[in-house]
Amino acid sequence: MPILLAIMAPMLWGSTYAAAALFFKGYPPIWLAVWRALPAGLILLLLRPSSLRRLPLPWPRMLALTLSGVTVFFALLFLAAYRLPGAVAGTLGATLPLQMLLLRWLQTGQRPAPVWLGLAVLGLLGVMLLLNPSSHLDLLGVAAALAATLLFAQSTLWMERWPVQDVLPLVGWQLLLGGVLLLPVAWLWAGPMPLPTLQQAPGLLWLVVGNTVLANAIWFWGVRRLSGQMMGMLSLSNPVVAVSLGILLVGEHLNGWQMAGISLILLSFILMKLVPAGAARQQSKPLDTLTLKSC
């Protein structure tokens, strides 16, 4: 079933926190992002050697996808991580379905369907209970987390609209170019790159192959097959997996509010399956009908 395959992407991304806690304590996060992006991009491109000859999209679109989905996205994400508790950053990231609804409305004039708006709010409420965010918020960190989510939402909508025959080369080029552009940012931010140790190799292998190559390929396959809005709702499984792995592997514990949060998220998934197929696959206008400002 396509939805079961599609939900694997945010679930795989949910393992990021446990993998980082188990294998990369003290390792600069932005250099870890470089290690994830560059090898993953090369692997995906080597799966389609012919794709190395040319970009799958014109340079302006390719650069827009790369900056919004990898380079600037990661930079803002790590700025938020430095200035906010992880639970707060995760909660703000769960605004993805709502931000996608807003962007689609602003750029195509398509009003959010009430059923999708209700499900997005229900899922967000569940994530807020699950992560139990602190009330002491750094405004710059909040802005960075929301901006990172907005950029990822935009890149997802672009991927949904732009015609691409083969998703793997597109994701490969996006990760490769994004990793290259991250190199100077990481150097200025965290200094020279520390080489991962042999003990960190299993964690790095998982982050590159499972967490990035497989997850990104599945995500954008799902965007093209199921719609960006459906994938946005499925992304709410990310914090559920993150918290669950924290309990199993890192020794964290669930309280009553977190259990209630998981229940609300699962309820939003069940209700989403009851949405008629016509409402689930919202159509958007081609990008060529939009103004350059939406790029």
Token pair for residue 242?
Answer: 């993150």
- pLDDT band at residue 287 under the 50/70/90 scheme: very low
Average pLDDT over residues 6-26: 82
- Quick: pLDDT tens for 122-143: 777 877 776 655 545 677 877 8
Residue-averaged pLDDT of the chain: 78
- pLDDT band at residue 293 under the 50/70/90 scheme: very low
Q: How far is CA 248 from CA 111, 217, 255, in A?
A: 41, 27, 15
- Quick: pLDDT tens for 237-263: 766 776 677 667 756 566 677 677 767
Question: How far is the C-alpha of 233 from the C-alpha of 155, rounded, in Å?
Answer: 16
Helix boundaries (H) for 14-113: 16-23, 29-47, 59-66, 72-83, 86-93, 96-108
pLDDT value of residue 186? 92
- pLDDT band at residue 41 under the 50/70/90 scheme: very high
Per the CB < 8 A criterion, the answer to whether 247 and 31 are in contact is no
- Please, which residues have CB within 8 angstroms of residue 144's CB and are 6 or more apart in sequence? 76, 77, 79, 80, 83
What value, to the nearest 5°, has the Cα angle with vertex 292 and ends 290 and 295? 90
Question: How far is the C-alpha of 46 from the C-alpha of 43, rounded, in Å?
Answer: 5
- Quick: pLDDT tens for 159-170: 888 877 788 899
Look-up of token digits 């965010």: 133
pLDDT at 232 over 80: no
Report helix angle 72-83 to 29-47, nearest 10: 150
3-state secondary structure of 277: helix
- pLDDT band at residue 119 under the 50/70/90 scheme: confident
Entry pTM:
0.77
pLDDT value of residue 74? 82
Question: How far is the C-alpha of 169 from the C-alpha of 62, rounded, in Å?
Answer: 11
- How far does CA 112 lie from the centroid of its chain? 21
Token pair for residue 223?
Answer: 């965007």
pLDDT value of residue 82? 67
Token pair for residue 176?
Answer: 């490769």
